[in-house]
Amino acid sequence: MPIVSNNEHATYDVIVIGGGVTGAGVARDCALRGLNVLLLERHDYNHGASGRNHGLMHSGGRYAVTDPDSARECIQENEVLRRIACHCIEPTDGLFVTLPDDDLDYQATFVEACRQVGISAEVIDPQQALQLEPTLNPDLRGAVRVPDASIDPFALTLANVLDARLHGAETLIEHKVTDLIVAGGRVLGVRALDHRTGLTHDYHASVTINAAGIWGAQIVRHAGIDIQMFPAKGTMLVYGQRMGQMVLNRCRRPSNADILVPDGAVSLMGTTSDRIDIAQVDDMRVTAAEVDLLMREGEQMVPRLAQTRLLRAFAGVRPLIASDDDPSGRSISRGIVCMDHASRDGMEGLITITGGKLITYRKMAELATDLACRKLGVDAACTTTTQPLPGSQERNVITGGFKPSGKSNSSKRHGDRRRAIPATDALDRMNICECENVSIGEVRYAIEQLQAHDLANLMRRTRLGMGACQGKSCACRTANLLAQLTGDAQQAQCDLARLLDERWRGAKPVAWGNALRDAQLTAAIYQGLCGLDKAIGRKEVQP
């Protein structure tokens, strides 16, 4: 049995549960207001929905007709993020296009709804749209330009974590909250299991903020509270080519497979929406039917997708509040839900922040922090609407932004923080991942400054292994580098096997043609040539 360690010094103003973008934003806002903060994440930053989305920075247009309050939140936060997080953003703009099977009358409804909530929506001629995006279906009947953009959710979350730490917050990954400490109708803190040591620790705080996404319902059950969550699974495809320069949307009521987002050298097609059992959220599997649907609908909008290699498929779960009369979750509001469990359930010291979108994380953090400050009697204003994140603090970065350039690089991932990346000698400047231009120095920086200690951590912090080769070329080299830096070769081998398993899990649903041949080559390299499965006794490390 693990030893329970009660650290008398582990007392904070606020404990934040969940290391997704919302939890990171809450930790940052609390720290900027002078609060003593602890952030706990059971796996790694962006492990949940924050790292399993299509990276769309919504203008709000998608929700303008069906959910105007959410649309208004989106466009307001869109404008804020362009000021404070521009190193994470590619200002692509977006098109909402009407295809032959779509109702052209809906375009006028869409444009009017956008204007009602403050979203710029410019109707353009279909021929002009084809000039902007030649890969579009040439038979399109209408097009509307909106201020959508592409955003890197990994860089966004890490920038919030980094700023929280720079302002005194403590952040711990691989710490799973196993219980809430409750006495006298009040949450006094949490009990957390450290996965790396096997030890359990108690952490105390005046306020605990539950920002655990779809897992938030499990957290509050420890205090005898029930939240009916709606686990809405969304499946996405990654194509191994950038199809264009703009975000492409179907101009129709929100439905499956109607968004294509450019992301560096690749494109992401999404998404589906299906209610799943809560027991599935830790082990989601992409189905053949979902892949077929996404491909079929995507090819209607961009016919060239039919000849484009698929790299992988993945799925995330939206943390929506339940609705029994909507099996897909499409009609459930994407609005923000901030629960004070003192007024709702008679349990003081506990707040839940959920709902919302990636783009509204900052507003969600502001609402939760405002409530925490009121409970603590702290009079401190929110500054996150104007204070740039680390990486976007230099004037030339803030005013210039980034233009689409295909490959990723350290400037896009770290912005003005790139100067902290070691580059004094030739070895540090060498690329260890050619697809995403990740240098050895950047790997060292991620380990020393960004709490990376394995290949999965490095992937989320640097995009290593996310490019066209899906880690086939760089994973082994990086594992070797990790072994040198940590002195633990056996652990590096295990990390390598886990990364290959994860890459295969995403490739398996689309494993035919070139994708299958590529997977077979990876197996030949790592099993036949390197003997990885024999070296660490893992027979399953194979396609």
CB-based contacts of 131, cutoff 8 Å, min separation 6: none
**353 within a domain of the structure (yes/no):** no
Q: Which domain holds residue 472?
A: 421-536
Which pLDDT belongs to residue 45?
96
Helix (H) or strand (E) holding 445: helix 440-449
Judgement on whether residues 249 and 139 belong to the same structural domain of the protein: yes
Q: How many domains does the chain have?
A: 2
Across 53-62, 142-151, 532-541, least confident range: 532-541
CA distance 2 to 496: 28
Between CA 67 and CA 62 the distance in angstroms is: 9
> For residues 364 and 354, what is the distance between their CA atoms, to the nearest angstrom?
8
Distances 60 to 73, 79, 236, 367 between C-alpha atoms, Å: 8, 11, 20, 20
Give the CATH number for residue 267: 3.30.9.10
pLDDT at 536 (0 to 100): 56
Asked if 425 and 312 sit in the same domain, the reply is no
Average pLDDT taken over every residue of the chain: 89
Token pair, residue 358, equals 């990636």
pLDDT, residue 230, reads 83
Residue with tokens 């390598």: 496
Last residue of a domain, one of 321, 349, 370: 321
List the beta bridge partners of residue 339: 352
Answer with the residue of higher pLDDT: 434 or 30. Answer: 30
Q: What is the pLDDT of residue 264?
A: 84
Q: How confident is the model at residue 40 (pLDDT cuts 50, 70, 90)?
A: very high
Residue at 387 is within a domain: no
Q: What is the mean pLDDT of residues 292-318?
A: 95
pLDDT of residue 502: 85
CA-nearest of 239, 298, 299, 286 to 263 is 239
Q: Residue 434: name the closest of 395, 405, 407, 406 by CA.
A: 407
Burial (0-12, 13-18, 19+ Cβ within 10 Å), 184: exposed
What pLDDT was estimated at residue 6?
43
As beta bridge partners, residue 103 has: none
Q: Is the pLDDT assigned to residue 321 strictly greater than 80? A: no
d(CA 406, CA 241): 9
CA proximity to 170, closest of 158, 182, 161 = 161
pLDDT tens digits, 224-273:
999 988 888 999 999 999 999 999 999 999 899 999 999 988 999 989 98
* Domain presence at residue 458: yes
- 535 Cβ partners below 8 Å, 6+ apart? 493
* Residue 8 pLDDT > 50: no
pLDDT at 505 over 60: yes
The residues that bridge with 494 in the sheet, in sequence order, are none
Same domain, 255 and 135: yes
pLDDT at 20: 96
**Quick one: average pLDDT of 46-56?**
92
The answer to whether residues 255 and 141 belong to one domain is yes
Cα 121 to Cα 96: distance, rounded to the nearest angstrom: 9
Read off the pLDDT of residues 348-387 as tens digits, 9 standing for 90 and up: 999 999 998 999 999 999 999 999 999 999 999 999 999 9
Q: Which two tokens stand for residue 286?
A: 């992409």
Alpha-carbon distance 9 to 156, whole Å? 31
Output the pLDDT for position 490. 85
| Residue 3 counted as domain residue | no
Cα–Cα distance measured from residue 312 to residue 239, given in angstroms and rounded to the nearest whole number: 7
126: in domain: yes
Per the CB < 8 A criterion, the answer to whether 360 and 77 are in contact is: yes
DSSP 433: E
If asked whether residues 442 and 296 sit together in one domain, one would say: no
Report the distance separating Cα 361 and Cα 336, nearest Å. Answer: 9
One-character DSSP codes across 372-414: HHHHHT------TTTSPPTTS-SHHHHHH-----SS--HHHHH
Q: Write the Ramachandran bin of 118: left for phi over 0, alpha for psi from -120 to 50, otherwise beta.
A: left
- Reply yes or no on whether the pLDDT at 540 is more than 80: no
What is the predicted pLDDT for the residue at 488? 86
pLDDT reported for residue 402:
39
Task: For residue 408, give every residue at least 6 positions away whose Cβ sits within 8 Å of its Cβ, in sequence order, or none.
Answer: 264, 265, 436, 437, 463, 467
pLDDT band at 472 (very low <50, low <70, confident <90, very high): confident
Domain boundary among 271, 288, 321: 321
Structure-token pair, residue 263: 């992301």
Domain boundary among 321, 342, 375: 321
Residue 449 domain-assigned (yes or no): yes
How many CB atoms lie under 10 A from the CB of residue 95?
Answer: 25
Q: What percent of the chain has pLDDT over 90?
A: 66
Rounded to 5 degrees, what are φ and ψ at 182? -120, 135
| Spatial separation of the C-alpha atoms in residues 295 and 189, rounded to whole Å | 47
In a domain, 199, yes or no: no
Give pLDDT, residue 527.
79
Q: Are residues 313 and 455 in the same domain?
A: no
Residue 542 identity (one-letter amino acid): Q
State which amino acid sits at residue 367. L
pLDDT at 503 over 90: no
Give me the sign of the Cα torsion angle 434, 439, 440, 443: negative
The answer as to whether 220 is a domain residue is no
Q: Are residues 433 and 292 in the same domain?
A: no
Q: Is the pLDDT of residue 135 over 60?
A: yes
Sign of CA dihedral 239, 243, 247, 248: negative
